[in-house]
A and B are shown apart, each in its own frame.
Chain A
Amino acid sequence: MSDAAVQPREITTSPRPSDRVFRGIVTAGGLTSLVVLALIAIFLYVKSHAVFTTFGWHFITDANWTPDDSVKMSTGHYGIGAMLVGTLITSVMAIIFAVPVAIGLALFLTHYAPHWMRAPLTLLVDLMAAIPSVVYGLWGFFVLMPMAINWSMLINHYLGFIPIFSVPVPIFDRSPFIASLVLAVMIVPIITAIAREVYAQAPRDHIEAAYALGSTKWAAMRAVVLPHGRAGVIGGTMLGLGRALGETVAVYMVLNLVYSVNFHVLQSAGGSVASMIVNKFGEATSFEVQGLMAAGLVLFLLTLLVNFAADLVVRLASKGA
């Protein structure tokens, strides 16, 4: 670096006025997502901050939801503890059901199915993601639930000694278990879509290297394809979790909302923040509406967190590989 005297010349451009306008408009449009997300947080907070100042952390930890129209917010009680716990229970169970199936399906679609079968099967799975949630709810209520009640009874009969499978009151319909089955069916296509993409991108030359070393198909999958797709599958799982946490109508139809925390997943009592908002909305008093706004804010932040985490995982992993 002896010729320090030579300085790079600065290149300046002054865009024409039309381009300046163009770039301004596009940039403004590009900021829509930022603006909308900020507005959602601001409006929900402004409309609900009285709830947080009145109840503080109890809003999140207490299970008790007793609206009261009298003059003060504090004469009623608003807590979403049971709904929050219920949301997490059904969503996590849905993930537990959906992930192995989605991974299996994605692997089948990318590396096992006969070639002529892959495109139509993939289209079918993608179609599944486009089915409206109200249709899932309808199907869950009329078709799945009668069957799932029998499965619940079986599980309860044979595994009832495990606390979560015991049922204090023998009512099996509209349980967290059934809601999680419906959610699982809804999120399988989401997870499958992402898993399929990452499995399909597994490097051919590494797969061939594994085969050339005398490995069976499964050994090659385990050595190359599954590790290659791990981060993507985790990211897809988180996206599915975000979807499950926020699902409203389908859960509303197949879950009995009960305002006390219930860990008996086969029992007809569960919680869902999103469904509660729709459920309470119709007849809500003005204080209760503020409570619903607060619940919406909590749900918003929770799903935002999950989505950020999903994005982070995928990014870190794709950098590492």
Chain B
Amino acid sequence: MNDLVAKGIHAWFGKRLVLEDVNLEFAHGTVTALIGPSGCGKSTFIRTLNRMHEFVPEARFAGQVLLGGNDVYAQGEDVTKVRLRIGMVFQKPNPFPSMTIRENVLAGPKLARIKVDDKTTLVEKSLHQAGLWNEVKDRLNEPALALSGGQQQRLCIARSLAVDPKVLLMDEPCSALDPASTLRVEETIDDIKHDVTVVIVTHNMQQAGRVSDYTAFFLAELGEPGRMVEYGETKQIFSNPRDNRTERYVTGQFG
């Protein structure tokens, strides 16, 4: 059963088409990596999945995003409920600065007014999933900004997991982190993928190779909108790409 299906996704900023006709399916319990050079539309693509695309005033869209069979862009669909079920982790760690570690984990339920019976258990469970529990269990009431960058990013992952999303979108989650922290985040992704479908945008091809089951390669040719060039199992994309542009990209000849 596919959790999330993207059908014929197009995205515009004003009159400029930046993403053309992307079709992708994300199976439950898998990690899909989206790779490609900057400006290829991969970030725009994942922001259409949880309807963050529409925050740009002149944004336009066409296509369908099916979550459990329902189009998240359908009329009458509550966008806040959509984002509850499709979580997102951003490029820069962004824990809420005025909140403690514990409050950050509980921020989702609090913001969306979801009743939590046992907050302590939820905090512990979410931090465990994000692989952060052992590091912070004694300092839950310290401000979140006291953590290192890598810890902050895992806290953001814990915060997203605390509302129990079906899908977790990660927009270059390691681009602001050092190699050791990057490794910890990758381990975390490995741990959580049984509970939640992960879609990760990354610049780092080694990372895509390490964490993902499937890989999609995006490319925007000069003056053209971004398109998905090739999609397949990660092993196949890296060892035996069908398209020679993919091959040139994964072997580091451009990008």
Given the known interface contacts A205-B90, A219-B112, the answer about A214 and B81 at a Cβ–Cβ threshold of 8 Å is yes
Number of interface residues of B (CB under 8 A): 27
Number of interface residues of A (CB under 8 A): 19
Q: Find out whether the CB atom of A215 lies under 8 angstroms from the CB atom of B94.
A: no
Residues of B within 8 A of A115 (CB): 57
Q: Find out whether the CB atom of B108 lies under 8 angstroms from the CB atom of A203.
A: no
Residues of A within 8 A of B50 (CB): 212
Q: Find out whether the CB atom of A223 lies under 8 angstroms from the CB atom of B107.
A: yes
Q: Find out whether the CB atom of A213 lies under 8 angstroms from the CB atom of B160.
A: yes
Query: B68 near A: Cβ within 8 Å?
Result: no
Name B221-253 residues within 8 Å CB distance of A.
none
Query: B166 near A: Cβ within 8 Å?
Result: no
Residues of B within 8 A of A215 (CB): 80, 111-112
Partner of A220, one of B94, B111, B156, B159: B111
Q: Find out whether the CB atom of A214 lies under 8 angstroms from the CB atom of B108.
A: yes
Number of A-B contacts (CB under 8 A): 65
Query: A169 near B: Cβ within 8 Å?
Result: no
Residues of A within 8 A of B81 (CB): 214
Q: Find out whether the CB atom of A213 lies under 8 angstroms from the CB atom of B97.
A: no
A211–chain B nearest beta-carbon distance, Å: 6
Query: B96 near A: Cβ within 8 Å?
Result: yes
Query: A280 near B: Cβ within 8 Å?
Result: no
Expressed in whole angstroms, the Cα–Cα distance for A213 and B97 within the complex equals: 16
Query: B87 near A: Cβ within 8 Å?
Result: yes
Partner of A208, one of B52, B84, B113: B52
Given the known interface contacts A214-B112, A223-B107, A223-B111, the answer about A206 and B96 at a Cβ–Cβ threshold of 8 Å is yes
Query: Residue of A at shortest CB range from B81?
Result: A214
Q: Find out whether the CB atom of A206 lies under 8 angstroms from the CB atom of B97.
A: yes
A50–chain B nearest beta-carbon distance, Å: 53
Query: B7 near A: Cβ within 8 Å?
Result: no
Query: A209 near B: Cβ within 8 Å?
Result: yes
Partner of B84, one of A205, A206, A213, A224: A213
Q: Find out whether the CB atom of B83 lies under 8 angstroms from the CB atom of A205.
A: no
Name B137-173 residues within 8 Å CB distance of A.
156, 159-160, 163
Expressed in whole angstroms, the Cα–Cα distance for A219 and B55 within the complex equals: 16
Q: Find out whether the CB atom of B80 lies under 8 angstroms from the CB atom of A214.
A: yes
Given the known interface contacts A214-B81, A216-B80, the answer about A208 and B90 at a Cβ–Cβ threshold of 8 Å is yes
Query: B88 near A: Cβ within 8 Å?
Result: yes
Expressed in whole angstroms, the Cα–Cα distance for A213 and B96 within the complex equals: 12
Q: Find out whether the CB atom of A212 lies under 8 angstroms from the CB atom of B111.
A: no
Query: A1 near B: Cβ within 8 Å?
Result: no
Query: B92 near A: Cβ within 8 Å?
Result: yes
Interface string of B58-86 (1 = CB under 8 A from A): 00000000000000000000001111100
Q: Considering residues B94, B113, B156, B160, which has the most beta carbons from chain A within 10 angstroms of its beta carbon?
A: B94
Residues of B within 8 A of A208 (CB): 52, 55, 88, 90, 94
Query: A210 near B: Cβ within 8 Å?
Result: yes
A317–chain B nearest beta-carbon distance, Å: 12
Interface string of B192-220 (1 = CB under 8 A from A): 00000000000000000000000000000
Partner of B163, one of A209, A211, A213, A216: A213
Query: B134 near A: Cβ within 8 Å?
Result: no
- The 9 A-B pairs at the shortest CB distance, nearest first, are namely A214-B84, A215-B111, A212-B88, A213-B108, A214-B112, A205-B94, A214-B83, A219-B111, A209-B94
Beyond contacts A206-B96, A213-B163: 4 other A-B pairs, Cβ-Cβ < 8 A, are: A208-B90, A209-B90, A214-B84, A227-B98
Residues on B facing A (Cβ under 8 Å) = 50, 52, 55, 57, 80-84, 87-88, 90, 92, 94, 96-98, 107-108, 110-113, 156, 159-160, 163
